[in-house]
Amino acid sequence: MATFKEFRNNVKPNWCPGCGDFSIQAAIQRAAANVGLEPEQLAVISGIGCSGRISGYINAYGLHGIHGRALPIAQGVKLANRELTVIASGGDGDGFAIGMGHTVHAIRRNLNITYIVMDNQIYGLTKGQTSPRSAEGFKTKSTPEGSIESTLSPLEIAMSAGATFVAQSFSSDLKGLTSLIEQGIQHEGFSLINVFSPCVTFNKINTYDWFKENIVSLEQFPDYDPSDRVVAMNKIMETNGMLTGLIYQNKSRKSYEDMIPGFKPEALANQELSITQEQFDQLVAEFK
């Protein structure tokens, strides 16, 4: 069985020292090992941004695609080979601005993949513009007078889109994050894990210290029941979206793959490409 070290490669990340993304990478590697995966059984599909580079830093199959499209690519991979564990990952701009349409529909579709958003409330790669996750009044290169748009709440959106697994974490909490990723991988359906991942270079407001002060951990509520949708939604609103932990899980809904008529449990990629002459004749018969 592979250890987390086997999910490491020898590429040195080009992230700034102190960037929150390092820990997310480590958490994915640990979680993959903890759930018993071998590197070739994992595919990490990422978007474009500082965060999007993550697929190149993990020893597994990886595809670094185009901005905002990690999810449809990841869903294609999963449909083609459902035996793979598929993780999609990218930034808050990637998933909640340019790729928001895909995020909502991937949630609705509920394929058995895990989506990890590396949420730094800013555009890192393009050197510090506002993101849909930026707070109102947040000053950036693109909002010198402060952002005048309201902040998007991905957790609320996920809940209302019918998510079956919603979690949030903080990159400093390696243990908690690793555990959530494991649970996300094991969840039979789409799992969204939004991870606060400070951008030490461009975001001087939402810093490590700021998160430590503002995060509300679900551990504080021993009676919390993540299977109750209304409770989950209330808690998200009460804590202004700063909640961390497993917020909601619906274990009864089947994954998309399991609901496709005639879809086999084995990888489609390994199935025969040709059909029989008899099958072909049947197809042709309706045109006579």
Partner 1 sequence: MISQLSWKIGGQQGEGVESTDRIFSTALNRLGYYLYGYRHFSSRIKGGHTNNKIRISTKPIRAISDDLDILVAFDQESIDLNARELRKGGVIVADAKFNPTVPEDVEARLFAVPITKMAEELGTSLMKNMVASGASWALLGLPLEVFNKAVEEEFGRKGPAIVEKNIEAVKAGAEFVLEQAGGPLDDFKLDEADGKQKLFMIGNEAIGLGSIAAGCRLMSAYPITPASEIMEYLIKKLPKFGGTVVQTEDEIAAVTMAIGANYAGVRTMTASAGPGLSLMMEAIGLAGMTEQPLVIVNTQRGGPSTGLPTKQEQSDLNAMVYGTHGEIPKIVIAPSTIEDCFYDMIEAFNLSEEYQVPVIVMTDLQLSLGKQSCEPLDYSKVQISRGKLVKDSPALEGGELFKRYEFTEDGVSPRILPGEKGGIHHVTGVEHDEVGRPSENAMNRKLMMEKRLKKLNNLRIRDAIRVDAPNEKPDLLIIGMGSTGGTIDAARDMLKENGISSNHITVRQIHPFPAEQLKPHLENAGKVIVIENNATAQLAGQIKMNAGYADKIESLLKYDGNPFLPLEVYKACKELS
Q: Which residues bind ligand TPP (CB under 6 A)?
A: 48-51, 67, 90-94, 118, 120, 122-126, 131
Q: With binding defined as CB under 6 A, does residue 50 bind ligand SF4?
A: yes
Name the residue nearer to ligand SF4 (CB basis): 47 or 124.
124
Measured CA to CA, the distance from residue 155 to residue 153 in angstroms comes to: 5
**Using CB distances below 5 to 8 A depending on partner kind, what does residue 126 bind out of ligand TPP, Mg ion, partner 1, none?**
ligand TPP
Phi, psi of 286 (to 5 degrees): -70, -10
- Pair of tokens at residue 222: 């021993």
120 binds Mg ion (CB under 5 A): yes
Instruction: State the alpha helices, DSSP H only, in 110-244.
Output: 154-160, 174-186, 208-214, 229-238
**Under the criterion CB under 5 A, does residue 132 sit at the interface with Mg ion?**
no
231: contact with ligand SF4 by CB under 6 A: no
How near is the Cβ of 125 to Mg ion at its closest, in Å? 8
Q: Which does 161 bind (CB under 5 to 8 A by kind): partner 1, ligand TPP, ligand SF4, none?
A: none
Residue 21 as a binder of Mg ion (CB under 5 A): the answer is: no
> What does the alpha-carbon distance between residue 220 and residue 240 come to, in Å, rounded to a whole number?
16
Nearer to partner 1, 220 or 271 (CB): 271
202 binds ligand SF4 (CB under 6 A): yes
- What is the pattern of x (binds ligand SF4, CB under 6 A) and - over residues 64-103? ----------------------------------------
Show the DSSP H helices in 110-169 as ranges.
154-160
Q: Is 201 in the site for ligand SF4 (CB under 6 A)?
A: yes
Contact 6, 40 (CB under 8 A): no
- The Cα 39–Cα 37 span in angstroms is 6
Among 21, 92, 94, 257, binds ligand SF4 (CB under 6 A): 21
Tell me which amino acid residue 283 is.
L
Residue 273's binding partner among ligand TPP, Mg ion, partner 1, none (Cβ under 5 to 8 angstroms by kind) is partner 1
Q: Which of helix, strand or coil describes residue 249?
A: strand
Contact between 91 and Mg ion per CB under 5 A: yes
Nearer to partner 1, 59 or 131 (CB): 59
Integer Cα distance of 4 and 64 in angstroms = 21
C-beta separation of 92 from 100 below 8 A: no
Contacting ligand SF4 (CB under 6 A), which of 120, 121, 147, 164? 120
Question: Quick one: what does residue 261 bind among ligand TPP, partner 1, Mg ion, none, with the CB cut-off 5 to 8 Å set by partner type?
Answer: partner 1
Half-sphere exposure at residue 285, Cβ-oriented, CA atoms within 13 angstroms: 7
Residue 116 interacts with ligand SF4 (CB under 6 A)? no
Alpha carbon separation from 222 to 173, 226, 229, 246 (Å, rounded): 19, 11, 17, 12
Interface size with ligand SF4, residues (CB under 6 A): 11
The phi, psi pair for 143, rounded to 5°, reads: -135, 65
Question: How far is Cα 154 from Cα 165, in angstroms, rounded to an integer?
Answer: 13
Q: Count CB neighbours of 268 within 10 A.
A: 13
Footprint of ligand SF4 (CB under 6 A): 15-16, 19, 21, 50, 120, 124, 199-202
Footprint of Mg ion (CB under 5 A): 91-92, 120
